[in-house]
Amino acid sequence: MNLSYSDEQNMLREQVLKFCESDYTFDVREKIVESNYGHNPETWKQFADLGWLAVPFSEENGGFNFGPIELAVIFEEFGKALVAEPYLANVVMSGSVLESSSNELAKQTISKIIDGTTQVSVAFSEANNGYNFHDIETSVEDGKLNGVKTVVLNASFANLFLVYARNGDKPVIYLVDANAAGVSVNSFSTVDGQNCGDVTFENVEVSESLIISNDSDASQAINAMLDLANLCICAEAVGGMTASYLKTVQYTKEREQFGQPISNFQVLQHKMVDMFMEAEVSKSLLFKAMLQLDGKDDEASKTISGLKAQIGKSSRLVGQAAVQLHGGMGVSDEMSIGHYLKRFTVIDALFGNRNYHLNNFSNL
Amino acid sequence: MDINFSDADNQFRQEVKDYLENKYPKHVKEKQNNGEQLTKQDMIDYHKSLYEQGWAGYNWPVEYGGTGWSPTQIYIFQEELGYANTPTILPFGLNMVGPVIYTFGNEEQKKKFLPDILEFNTWWCQGYSEPGSGSDLASLKTKAVRDGDHYIVNGSKTWTTLAQNADWIFCLVRTETTQKKQEGISFLLIDMKTEGIEVKPIITIDGDHEVNSVFFTDVKVPAENLIGEEGKGWTYAKFLLAHERFGIAGVPNQKYSLKLLKERTKDFADDDLKKKIADYEIELSALEFTELRTLAALANGGHPGAESSIIKIKGTELQQRLTEMYVEAAGQYILPYEGPEGFNSNNTPASNVSDFSSQAVSRYLNFRKTSIYGGSNEIQKNIIAKAILGV
């Protein structure tokens, strides 16, 4: 057992950290969020140039063959800086599904994700299935795809959709062009400044060559994607919690009331210690989950469920306390602190919230 | 990073299992698994069996007779012991005064005390708290006045765990009244058989006799029993507290108790309890990895510092939550009171199902102590605020 990051992993962290500090300040981020749904093509190009879009892909697909640990490193730093670029939707989620496919089309699509020229989103959620992601109505009959997918992340910018559908009794994942006849996107900005959309497929012609994954491989690909995506957003939340408590400590040292810095008050000190502890124990559980996933441990899915449940509770505590201790400033949109709370709230809601995962953990 | 155990680690785990199977005293095992109270002799037998195995100093350096184990080995050792429901290793000698002596003591003291601590020939207790000095420990008043080759000690200590069994007590005493109260404190080792020492039991709310008051009246202590320098006791005390907090969370024992609780509640139609158990289990695993992270930092040359305060706070909160869930699960059957001497009747209540019912409430009440001792959890938060957050 070894719980130290490798030199390579530390260098990756350093690189992401430096980028966020110099090129992705909160002001820059706010402009991107306000003008373009959290996505800036120039930033995305920088990601591609830095090689970040290639991180989890195998070498034969043109990637670095990195795993969950490196992704968690990147997301922890993204979480600190509130990075809103669609890395999760493209590299993690679509990447995970495509990487598991043996279809040559998947390979070609990966290379276009890596060079940053194409964006891909997985369309799996539906209006009536809650978190039961395998309970789907979208179906293919006689080569025509029909159905409505909801809360598709980054739908505004996706050039391609990986659509989870049923072909008779069997689950299938198709790769569908966003411009294909019969595809329509109704997109929304999300509560945390990114975007998602409902994607409607109406008699969209899909040939067999577009099948990325079939039968039990398809449902397993979705499960594997959900595990990895959950791990990544939990790492993001850990980064966000760390930033939240550090910013709060800083703020309370500067803010004076009753003739002294409010950080002198024990009731606030203990609140900040609570925030610190929640961030740390969450980080510990993140270690366990990412190491298990990396080692393909049978328990990994269960641990990730546990992690997601823990993050739901811890990040709510940290996010709320950070706003509370910033007082009126905490509820001002111009301050970054409230944006962490928004992101935590979205993270909890994605891919099964705390209640869902607590039940899931209990039943596994 | 790698979560897997090496072949050597797995072989080591097997060694621990072999000890538990063959050398862990059978009479102790039986009592533990039946939830019966252990006698002083049982505890001595258990510790001596560890000594004979060469494992008493499981976290000591080799040069003082310790194992020199890696953090991973310590983890495996504690985990297997926990799974086997062994008694808690008494910390007073092995985890508290021992490390203080080998770190700050002189050669004579090391020779005189360390072998007996390892071999469990001496039972130690801790003389820190006083009636007027709890969280504000540095305000302590027990006085040691130098008189030739001796110190004359007067005062009293309280909440002294298992002082009724102890051969020796390590004490924080005031050797000087200084402007800064921390500066006049010294660290003194005192033989409990010395004239002028009186031990009086304190019965806690679970009905048990675990802690005591210890009174000192003109107790003559050889000056050679002073550890380190006079007036530097506070430094040694803080060192000891950081070590004490380490392992205080009892994660392996909690895992064992959790397993029992899950087995015994699996047919309950109580989704709320199931969710609580799941939540607790998740947090326990987070705590376990927090401990592992700290161990890893130690192995890389760090010291157990304020981070150990997280483990103390979270660990004791979880211990308490576990005891609460046992009480909830037992429902009305907690009522018949089983004290240390058993039920107040010749019969066992029909509703009694081992520690699941009658002992659940005793443990719940007893475990209120955990967030108070070793520096209350509020004090731990002060430590983290100051040392880590810098406020």
Same domain? For A350 and A259 the reply is yes
A352, A230: one domain = yes
Instruction: Pick the residue of A273, A285, A316, A325 with the most B CBs within 10 A to test the interface with B by mutation.
Output: A273
Report the amino acid identity of residue A33: V
Kindly state whether A291 is in contact with chain B, defined as any CB-CB distance less than 8 angstroms.
Answer: yes
CA A78 to CA A19: how far, in whole Å? 10
Instruction: Give me the phi and psi of B328, to 5 degrees please.
Output: -60, -45
Task: Establish if A353 touches chain B: CB-CB under 8 angstroms.
Answer: no
Cα separation of B366 and B204, whole Å? Answer: 7
Looking at the structure, tell me whether residues A242 and A323 fall in a common domain: yes
Instruction: Please enumerate in sequence order all residues whose Cβ is within 8 A of that of B88, keeping only pairs 6 or more positions apart, or say none.
Output: B250, B253
> Is B304 within 8 Å of B240 (Cβ atoms)?
no
Residues A249 and A269 in one domain: yes
The residue with tokens 């270690």 is A287
Inter-chain residue contact B293 with A306, CB threshold 8 Å: no
Among the listed residues A89, A96, A85, A16, the one whose alpha carbon sits nearest the alpha carbon of residue A61: A96
In what helix (H) or strand (E) does residue A144 lie, and over which residues does it extend? strand A144-153
CA distance B316 to B288: 13
Instruction: Note whether residue A15 is domain-resident.
Output: yes
- For A4, residues 6+ apart whose C-beta sits below 8 A from its C-beta are B1, B296, B300
% of chain B exceeding 70 in pLDDT:
96
Q: In CATH, what number is assigned to the domain containing residue A155?
A: 2.40.110.10
- What is the structure's pLDDT at A4? 85
Indicate the residue among A73, A97, A114 that finishes a domain: A114
Q: Which of A51-65, B160-174, B361-375 has the lowest mean pLDDT?
A: B361-375
Co-location of A129 and A263 in the same domain: no
Q: What is the mean pLDDT of residues B114-133?
A: 96
- R_g (Cα) of chain B, nearest Å: 22
The strand pairing partners of B157, in sequence order, are B214
Measured between CB atoms, does B282 come within 8 Å of chain A? yes
Same domain? A251 vs A305: yes
- Type of residue numbered A233: I
Contacts for B50 with CB less than 8 Å, ≥ 6 apart: B56, B58, B89
The SS3 of residue B35 is: coil
A241 plus A283 within the same structural domain: yes
Per the domain annotation, does A240 fall within a domain? yes
* pLDDT for residue B354: 56
Pairwise CA distance, residues B125 & B40, whole Å: 14
B282·A309 Cβ contact <8 A? yes
pLDDT digit string (tens) for B63-101?
Answer: 999 999 987 898 899 999 999 999 999 999 999 999 999
**What is the residue whose two structure tokens read 């969280």?**
B135
- Locate B94 and state its tokens: 């092995």
The string of pLDDT tens digits covering residues B24-39 is: 999 999 999 887 889 9
pLDDT band for B305, please (50, 70, 90 cuts): low
Residues A209 and A261 in one domain: no
In a domain, residue A222? The reply is: yes
> Does A2 fall in a domain?
no
* Domain end marker among A180, A197, A215: A215
Contact present, B354 and B330 (Cβ < 8 Å): no
Closest CA to A51 of A83, A17, A15: A15
Per-residue b/e over B209-241, b at no fewer than 16 CB within 10 Å? ebbbbbbbeebebeeebbbbebbbbbebbbbbb
Cα separation, B23 vs B52, in Å, equals: 9
Q: Is A310 on the interface with B (CB under 8 A)?
A: yes
Backbone angles phi, psi at A299, to 5 degrees: -85, -5
- C-beta separation of B170 from B187 below 8 A: yes
Q: For an interface test with A, which of B273, B274, B282, B295 has the most A Cβ atoms less than 10 Å from its Cβ? A: B282
**Closest-CA distance of chain B to residue A362, Å:** 5
Residues sharing a CB contact under 8 Å with residue A46, sequence separation 6 or more, in sequence order: A19, A23
State the nearest Cα–Cα gap between A276 and chain B, in angstroms: 8
A307 to chain B: which residues are within 8 Å by CB? 282
Question: From CA A358, how far away is CA B16, in angstroms rounded?
Answer: 34
Domains of chain B as residue ranges with CATH:
7-89 (no CATH), 124-231 (2.40.110.10), 246-389 (1.20.140.10)
Q: Are residues A78 and A47 in the same domain?
A: yes
Residue pair A307/A314 in contact (Cβ under 8 Å)? The answer is no
Domain assignment present for residue A1? The answer is no
A253–chain B nearest CA distance, Å = 7
How far CA B389 is from CA of A79, A248, A250, B119, B274, in Å, comes to: 20, 10, 9, 41, 36
Give the gap in angstroms from C-alpha B341 to the nearest C-alpha of chain A. Answer: 38
DSSP classification of residue B167 = S
Q: What is the mean pLDDT of each run of 10 residues along chain A (364 residues)?
A: 89 98 96 92 97 97 96 98 98 98 97 97 94 96 97 97 96 98 97 96 97 96 98 98 98 97 98 97 96 95 98 98 97 96 98 96 91
Q: Which of residues 323-382 of B touch A (CB under 8 A)?
A: 378, 381-382
Chain A residues within 8 A of B296 when measuring between CB atoms: 2-4
The answer, yes or no, to whether residue B244 has pLDDT greater than 70, is: no
DSSP 3-state of A253: helix
**Number of Cβ within a 10 Å radius of residue A97:** 26
Residue A16 within any structural domain of the chain: yes
- ∠ at Cα A7 (B283, A232), nearest 5°? 40
Q: What is the C-alpha radius of gyration for chain A, rounded to an integer number of angstroms?
A: 21
Q: How far apart are CA A66 and CA A72, in angstroms?
A: 11
**Domain range for residue A38?**
7-114
Residue A41 falls inside a structural domain: yes
Integer CA distances (angstroms), A35 to A30, A192, A209, B105, in order? 8, 14, 38, 67
The DSSP symbol for A329 reads G
Cα angle for residues B99, B100, B106 (degrees, 5° grid): 110
Does residue A323 share a domain with residue A226? yes
What token pair was written down for B25?
């005293």
- Of A114, A134, A165, the residue at which a domain comes to its end is A114
For the cut 80, the answer to whether the pLDDT of residue B243 exceeds it is no
Q: How far apart are CA A337 and CA A240, in angstroms?
A: 10
For residue B245, the model assigns a pLDDT of 63
| CA–CA distance, B31 with B85 (Å, rounded to integer) | 11
Q: Please give the average per-residue pLDDT across B204-214, as a whole number.
A: 94
- Name the pTM for this structure: 0.93
Asked if the C-beta of A316 comes within 8 angstroms of chain B's C-beta atoms, the answer is: no
Mean pLDDT of B183-192: 97
Q: Report the Cα A320 to chain-centroid distance in Å.
A: 21
Q: Residue B188's beta-bridge partner residues?
A: B171, B226
In Å, how far is A89's CA from the nearest CA of chain B?
26
Dihedrals phi, psi of B198, to nearest 5 degrees: -130, 130
Instruction: Give how far Cα B377 sits from Cα of A144, A280, A283, B310, Å.
Output: 63, 17, 21, 9
For residues A230 and A311, state if they share a domain. Answer: yes
A266 touches chain B (CB under 8 A): yes
Among B72, B76, B71, which residue's Cα sits nearest to residue B20? B76
A303 shares a domain with A281: yes
Angle value at C-alpha B355, between B354 and B361, nearest 5 degrees: 135
CATH number of A52's domain:
1.10.540.10
Looking at B109-113, B239-243, B279-283, which range is the least confident one?
A: B239-243
Q: What are phi and psi for residue A306, nearest 5 degrees? A: -60, -40
How would you class B355 by CB atoms within 10 Å of its CB: exposed for 0-12, middle for 13-18, buried for 19 or more? buried
- The SS3 assignment for A283 reads helix
In Å, how far is A180's CA from the nearest CA of chain B?
A: 45
Number of structural domains chain A divides into: 3
Residue B276: the pLDDT is: 95
Which residues, including other chains, have CB under 8 Å from residue B381's CB and lie 6 or more apart?
A: A269, A270, A273, A274, B309, B313
In sequence order, the 6+-apart residues with CB closer than 8 A to the CB of A222 are A97, A122, A124, A133, A134, A164, A171, A173
Containing B50, the helix (H) or strand (E) segment is helix B40-52
Helices and strands (H and E) in chain B: how many: 13, 10
Alpha helices by DSSP H, chain B:
7-22, 26-34, 40-52, 71-83, 91, 98-104, 107-119, 233-245, 251-265, 271-299, 307-330, 358-366, 377-384
How far apart are the C-alpha atoms of A110 and A1, rounded to whole Å?
33
Q: Is B312 on the interface with A (CB under 8 A)?
A: no
